[in-house]
Amino acid sequence: MEQILFYILATVIVIATILAITEKHPVHAIVYLVTSFFALAVVFYLLAAPLIAMFEMIIYAGAVMVLFMFVIMMLDLGGGGDAKRPSLAHCLPALVLAGVILASLGLLVTARSSAIPAASHMPDVREFSTTLFTKYGVAIEIISMQLLFAVVGALYLGRRRKP
Amino acid sequence: MIPDPIDIALSAIKIALVFFVILTLAAYLVFAERRLLAWIQDRKGPNRVGPFGLLQPLADLIKMLTKEDFKPAGADKWLFYLAPAMAAIPAIMTFAVIPFGAPIPLLGRQVAMQVVDLNVGLLLFIAFSAIAVYGVALGGWASNSKYALLGSIRGLAQLISYEISMGLALVPVVILSRSFTLSEIVNAQEGCWFIVYQPLAFIIFLISIIAECKRVPFDLPEAEGELVAGFHTEYSGMRFGLFFVGEYINIIVLGGLATTFFLGGWHGPLLPPVIWFSIKTLAFAVLFIWIRGTLPRLRYDQLMHFGWKFLTPLALLNILATGWWMVLRG
C-alpha cells in the first residue's frame, strides 16, 4: 500500500520538477514546483515524519513560493519568450553538481548493506522538539541569529531614503 | 498493512457526511447573509422562491450552472480553469481535522467525530490556509485583466500578512494544551475554555480569520467600489460560484476552528456535543455577517499597518506573557 503510493508520488515529483526547470513561463514553473513540494510533503508523511511534511508545505509551498509569485506578478515578468538555450559553459556547474550527486547515489546503492532501519514508530511532536532544542540547541540559536541578520538587512535595504 | 474494511467504510461515511453538510450549509449561509443584510438595511431580501425564500439557493445554483462558461481573450487557459478549485478545495479539506462531536461507541469501537485525528492537526490548518493563497493569486493573474491582477496582488499580500498573526495567536493555545492535536486541544478545555485564559489571543485570531476569508472590513481583494469585483472579475457561471461558495466554506471552517481553539469545541452542558459545536460555529458565521453589515472597508495602507505593526507585535507579546505565566505557575 505505502509502496504503491510512494511510486506514484515519486513519479509526480520527478515529472513536476523536470517541468519546473524546462518551463519557460515563470508562473507555470512555480505551479509545477509547488506540485512537486506537495507530493514531497506526502512522501515525508509516509516516512513517519508528519512534522517535516507540514513544514515543507507551510514554509516552501506556502511562504517561499508565494513570495516568488508575488514578485513575478508585481513586476509582470510573464512571457519569457526570448529566453535562449544557455551555452555549454553556463551549464558546466550544474553538470558537475549533477555528476557528484549521481555518483554518490550510485555509491549508496551499490554499497548498501540493508542497514537502513525502518521507522519503528511515529515520533511525536514533543519528542522531536525536545531533541531539537536540547541536543541541537546551539545550532538552532545560530540559525535564528542568521535569520535575524537577514531581517535587519532587509529592513536596511528597504528603509526610506531622504530625497 | 491493510486497514480494517469497517474502518475504511466509517471514514468514507464521515467524509461524505462532512462534504454534504458543509456544502449545503455554505449554500444556505449565502441565503442567510442576504436575508440578514436586508434586515439590517431595513429591506426584505430574497423571499419569493419557496416558503420564506428558502429555495433561493437552489434557484441560484440552476442559474449558475446554465450561464455561459466564459474565458477572456488572452487568458491563461488551464490556470484560469483550475484557480476556482484551488480556492475552494483547501478550505473544505481543513475540516478533516476538526472534531465536531464527542467520540461515540459504534460497532464495538470508539468512533471519533472527526475525519482524521492527526498529531499535527493545527499545523495542517496553517499549511492549508497558506496553500489557499494560490487560488486567489492565480485566478486574478490568469484572467489577463487589470482589475483582476490588482485584486489578486492585494489578496496575496493581505493573506500572507494576516497568516502570521493568525499563526502566532495559536501559539498560546498550544502552550496551554501542550499539543498540536485538535482533539487534545478540545479535551484540555473541558474545565475552562481557553477564551478565559487568552482573551487577547482570541481577539487577534478573530480579526485575522476575518482577514483570511477576505470579508468586510478586509475585503480589499474584491473591493467592488474600485476594482469591479477584484480577483474574480472575469469569472462567470459555476467557476465564479466556486469562488463564491469557497468563501462561505471558509467562514464555516474558520468558525469551527475558532470554536475548537478558544470556545471549548463540542463541550457544553445539557445539549448533545454536535449541537453545541454547530451553535458555536454558526454564531461565528452570524458575527461575520453582522460585521459586514456594520463596518466600512479599510484603506489598503491601514490594512497593512494594522497587520504588521499592531497585531503581529501584540501576538508576540502575548506569547511571551503566556510563557512567563506558565513558568511562574510551574
Return the domain boundaries, chain A. 1-79, 124-163
Asked if B123 reaches chain A (Cβ–Cβ under 8 Å), the answer is: yes
Instruction: Report the C-alpha gap between B28 and B13 in whole angstroms.
Output: 22
| Residue among B131, B153, B160 minimizing CB distance to A74 | B153
When pLDDT is averaged across residues B280-301 and rounded to a whole number, the result is: 88
Q: Which among B80, B61, B63, B68 is positioned nearest to B23, based on CA atoms?
A: B61
CA dist B214 → A59, B133, B139 (Å): 22, 11, 15
Q: Which residues of B touch A125 (CB under 8 A)?
A: 119-120, 179-180
pLDDT at residue B276 in the model:
87
Per-residue pLDDT tens over the stretch B95-138: 888 888 777 777 777 777 788 888 888 889 999 988 888 888 88
Residue A67 and residue B138: Cβ atoms within 8 Å? no
No. of H helices and E strands in chain A?
7, 0
Question: Under the phi-then-psi rule, with left for phi > 0, alpha for psi from -120 to 50, and beta for the rest, what region is B214?
Answer: left
Q: Is B297 helix (H, G, I), strand (E, B) or coil?
A: coil
| Chain B touched by A88 (CB under 8 Å) | no
- Give dist(CA B229, CA B251) in Å, integer: 19
A140 Rama class: left (phi>0) / alpha (psi -120 to 50) / beta = alpha
> Does the pLDDT value for residue B316 go beyond 60?
yes
Angle, CA of B328, B329 and B330, to the nearest 5° = 90
pLDDT in the model for residue B57:
85
pLDDT score for A78: 58
Q: Please say whether the beta carbons of B232 and B222 come within 8 A.
A: yes
Question: Which of A55-59, B6-10, B17-21 is predicted with the least confidence, judged by mean pLDDT?
Answer: B6-10
Mean pLDDT for the stretch of residues B277-289: 90
Q: Which residues of B163-188 are buried (b: 16+ CB within 10 A; e: fewer)?
A: bbbbbbbbbbbbbbbebbbbbbbbbb
- Mean pLDDT score of chain B: 86
Helix and strand counts by DSSP (H, E) for chain B: 14, 2
pLDDT for residue A153:
92
Segments making up each domain of chain B, as ranges: 5-329
Residues 160-189 of B with CB under 8 A from A: 160, 163, 178-180
From the list A58, A122, A126, which residue is nearest B130 (CB)? A58
What is the C-alpha to C-alpha distance for residues B221 and B277, in angstroms, rounded to an integer? 31
Q: Which residues contact B150 (CB under 8 A, 6 or more apart)?
A: B140, B227, B230
Residues of A in contact with B137 (CB under 8 A): 66, 69-70, 73
Task: Identify the residue with better confidence: B285 or B75.
Answer: B285
Output the pLDDT for position A75.
Answer: 78
Phi, psi (degrees; rounded to nearest 5) at B106: -150, 130
What pLDDT score does A81 carry? 57
Q: How far apart are CA B140 and CA B235, in angstroms?
A: 10
What residues of chain A, 24 to 43, have a C-beta less than 8 Å from chain B?
27-28, 31, 34, 38
Residue B42 backbone phi and psi in degrees, to 5: 60, 45
Peptide bond between residue B217 and the one before it cis (omega within 30 degrees of 0): yes
pLDDT at residue B305 greater than cutoff 60? yes
Indicate if the pLDDT at residue B225 is higher than 80.
no
Spatial separation of the C-alpha atoms in residues B162 and B249, rounded to whole Å: 19
Residue in A with minimal Cα distance to B175: A126
Task: Give the span between the Cα atoms of B47 and B35, in whole angstroms.
Answer: 8
Positions of chain A with pLDDT lower than 50, given as ranges? none
Q: Which three cell numbers stand for residue A115?
A: 542497514
A124 vs B: CB within 8 A: yes
Residue among B126, B127, B137 minimizing CB distance to A69: B137
Please state which CATH number belongs to domain A1-79: 1.20.120.1200
Contact of B317 with B167, CB cutoff 8 Å: no
The three grid cell numbers given for residue A126, joined into one nine-digit string = 514533543
Rounded CA separation B202/B193 (Å): 11
What single-letter amino acid sits at B2? Answer: I
Q: Point out the least confidently predicted range of A72-81, B195-204, B209-218.
A: A72-81
Residue A2: closest CA among chain B residues belongs to which residue?
B1
pLDDT band at B240 (very low <50, low <70, confident <90, very high): confident
Is B131–A74 a contact, with Cβ atoms under 8 angstroms apart? no
Does A53 touch chain B if contact means CB atoms closer than 8 Å? Answer: yes
Confidence check: pLDDT of B51 > 70: yes
CA distance B122 to B128: 10
